[in-house]
Amino acid sequence: MLKKTKYLLNIVPLTKIPLNREPFFCYFSTENISVGSLVSIPFSTRIIEGIVVENNARTKISPTQNLKNIDKILEKDFLTSQQIALAEYLSVYYFAPLGTVLKNFIIKITKAKIKTTEKNKQKTPNPPTIDLTLAQKKAVNAITQGAEKNKSLPYLLYGPSGSGKTEVYIHSILKLKKHDSQNQFLVLVPEKTLTPQAMERYGDYFNPAEIVLFSSSLKNSDLYSNWQNIKSGKAKIIIGTRMSVFAPFKQLALIIVDEEQDMSFKQWEKTPRYDARTVAEKLAKINDCKIVFGSATPSIASFYQTQINKRQLLKLPELELKNLKKPPLTTTIVDMRKEHWIKNYSCISKKLKAEIAYALKNGLQSILFINRQGMSAFSICNNCKTVLRCPNCDHALIYNNFGNYKCPSCSYISPVIPECSKCKKIIFKNIGLGTQKVEKEINALFPAAKIFRIDTENAKEKDFHKKIYQKISQGEADIVVGTQMITKGWGFPKMSLIGIIDADNMLALPSWNTQEKAWQDLMQISGRVSRPGAIFPGTVIIQTYHPENKLFKSVSEKNYINFYEQELSDRKILSYPPFNKIAKLIFQDYNKKKVDLETEKVYQLLIFADNRLKVTAPQDCFSAKIKGKFRKQLIIKFDSFLEKKIAAILGSLSSGWIVDIDPISII
């Protein structure tokens, strides 16, 4: 009697498995299940999901092989071979368990479909008649054809705000789509606030039925429907945030990473702490497609890649069109110390107040940028000057306009009347500025103005990004107060004034790339005015207590090369990226003594592993306690020659450690 064929499957459970063991487990199945299928499996005492990564048919089973059978098949061929290859790369590069990485590729299966309105079905593209400049045509030709000797290299499209980078992206897609109508194109944007404008711009050139959004802002049914359309090849233009690198592309031809300098491409809250820019470059290699990084303020690392011939530089000059003039831009640096001399203690200088009044009088729009949300930076006891802190974290509580104090690191919200931890008094003084404080101040100064606030707090509202974009573009907003979410991408013809409320705050954090981030944010927010098609000349006002800082002068002069060369020189001396890689290791536990002992043990292990390694001694994190856990960190600087040695050590770390490769900050 023939024995029934059984299939031996290697399955990666979608859970955390230690890095020092194989990430998959063996199971039996009576059905031949393809690699990439989503299944449920018995794992320990529970039933969890897993991905099949290997399939071996067996007709004879040894009695000693006491393997479990799979529970059931959830969906065959759920992930593509390219997705599995990308997941394996992420697991190795970011020292993250493969099962944890694969979770990012899994979309909740739902039977609901997106309802397409009759209006959208009937809508046809209505592309504007724009003649590309010579520089734009050269960029399009380079991207779509490529120099033979540098065909596989990524591109960096560098041009000032309003120089026509989006037109280069669109016409590159048009050309590649004409060559093969089945091609797919991924357009990565750093913020959800940029997706409505991107959908609108690309919708002018392409059939809306071929364009899908891939972002966490979508409800599950819409996200799954878009996921299916990408997998089937029906979706041709995929516009999304960092999570869209995990989509199941069928025939990917081009990846565009817009605003490539933006730190929002980095996932820093949970494992894997991936950078979508790095992942996108690997995705391009796996799919054998081209990739373009675009920015008006390229990251130091990206521009350096062009200098050592690892990326091709495509430059766009200021856009000058006969029928689309670009008005001049004036940048003014306001010394806030002098404001105090004239008894003005408001966060709005006299100059900025006058410019806002002028904009309102002429029906123009303004943006006020402050890189912190809430009503203040922190609060201190009026009696003993103790900082009011979260009882679960080491973080200072931030006062908000609901009348209580909130922790930015956890969900803790204080009572309406909190007590000082030291003297038990109940009166506190709020120090510093936040978006809510600026909004309140502007409301008092201009009560008739239509003011909108954009920060993480109110961006949680349903369809917030789409609604706020429509309101601003339709002229329903006079003044927009926001964080870095508003610094890039947007272009509104009536936007004429930028006020940078607290420029010094951008330079306050002691990290290796603070200067770069500040320069980029200041240049990006300045680029929201004086764009081609703008009605009035643009004005940028930088408020600071340190007007002598060279960074502000560099911003006013728009001299990227000078800034780049100085920053690169400083980093070379200190062995920071792009000359070395950085890994940040954080250990956290409820027991402080255990944290001290564990971080010291790993520190000793690292410094004796190789004398070429540069390792900082264990130190408290900037937030030394979060959700009741104490936290210490080590910073490692290393070059490519030491990667294997580092990998062996990091792969053996115990649970409780967080490994952050290429961190956006070292504090």
Tokens of 452: 């909108």
User: Which pLDDT does position 462 carry in this prediction?
Assistant: 72
Predicted pLDDT at 3: 57
pLDDT at residue 148 in the model: 43
Q: How would residue 65 be classed by pLDDT, with cut points 50, 70 and 90? A: low
Q: What is the rounded CA–CA span in Å between residue 291 and residue 579?
A: 23
pLDDT of the residue at 147: 43
Which of the four pLDDT bands, split at 50, 70 and 90, describes residue 186?
Answer: very high
> According to the model, what pLDDT value does residue 420 have?
84
CATH class of 6-105: alpha beta
Q: Which two tokens stand for residue 160?
A: 């000032």
Q: Map out the domains of the chain as residue ranges.
A: 6-105, 118-315, 329-374+433-570, 378-431, 581-661
List the alpha helices (DSSP H) in 94-248: 98-102, 118-122, 134-144, 165-179, 195-203, 220-232
Flag whether pLDDT at 430 surpasses 90: no
Instruction: Write out pLDDT tens, residues 283-302.
Output: 999 999 999 999 999 999 99
pLDDT of residue 151: 57
Does residue 333 register a pLDDT over 80? Answer: yes
Q: What is the mean pLDDT of residues 374-394?
A: 80
Class of domain 118-315: alpha beta
| 329-374+433-570 and 581-661 agree in CATH topology | no
Looking at residue 123, its pLDDT comes to 62
With a pLDDT cut of 70, the percent of the chain lying above it is 92
pLDDT for the residue numbered 57:
59
Per-residue pLDDT, averaged over 59-74, amounts to 73
Q: Which CATH architecture has domain 329-374+433-570?
A: 3-Layer(aba) Sandwich (3.40)
**Can you give the length of the chain in residues?**
667
Work out the percent of the chain whose per-residue pLDDT is above 90.
52
Whether 517 contacts 264, CB under 8 Å: no
SS3 per residue for 226-260: HHHHHHHCCCCEEEECHHHHHCCCCCEEEEEEECC
Report the pLDDT value the prediction gives residue 376, as an integer from 0 to 100.
67
Please tell me which residue, 107 or 490, carries the higher pLDDT value: 107
Instruction: Report the C-alpha gap between 267 and 660 in whole angstroms.
Output: 10
- Please determine, for residue 325, whether its predicted confidence score (pLDDT) is greater than 50: yes
Task: Decide if pLDDT at 73 tops 90.
Answer: yes
Q: What pLDDT was estimated at residue 443?
A: 93
The overall average pLDDT reported for the chain is 87
Question: What 3-state class would DSSP assign to 294?
Answer: strand
Q: What is the pLDDT of residue 154?
A: 95
- Kindly state the average pLDDT of the residues 608-626: 87
Given a contact cutoff of 8 angstroms between Cβ atoms, the answer to whether 87 and 46 are in contact is no
pLDDT of residue 156: 97
Q: pTM for the whole thing?
A: 0.87
Higher pLDDT pick, 640 / 661: 661
Residue 416 has pLDDT above 90, yes or no: no
| Res 254: pLDDT | 96
Max avg pLDDT among 96-105, 326-335, 502-511, 545-554? 96-105
Task: Name every residue whose Cβ is closer than 8 Å to that of residue 183 and which is 6 or more positions away in sequence.
Answer: 176, 177, 236, 251, 252, 253, 254
Cα torsion angle, 646, 652, 653, 655, sign: positive
* Average pLDDT over every residue of 9-18: 92
Poorest-pLDDT segment among 49-63, 491-505, 606-620: 49-63
Q: Would you say residue 1 has pLDDT above 50?
A: no
Instruction: Say yes or no to pLDDT of 357 above 50.
Output: yes
| 581-661 CATH, one of 3.30.70.600, 1.10.10.10, 3.30.2310.20, 3.30.420.40 | 3.30.70.600
Return the axis-axis angle of helices 560-574 and 550-557, rounded to nearest 10°: 140
CA dist 6 and 319 (Å) reads: 65
Confidence category of residue 609, pLDDT binned at 50, 70, 90 = confident
Assign 114 a pLDDT band (cuts: 50, 70, 90).
very low
Q: How confident is the model at residue 146 (pLDDT cuts 50, 70, 90)?
A: low
Average pLDDT over residues 381-389: 84
Mean pLDDT comparison of 217-221, 387-391, 567-571, 609-613, highest-scoring range: 567-571
What is the C-alpha to C-alpha distance for residues 68 and 43, in angstroms, rounded to an integer? 9
The yes-or-no verdict on residue 491 having pLDDT over 80 is no
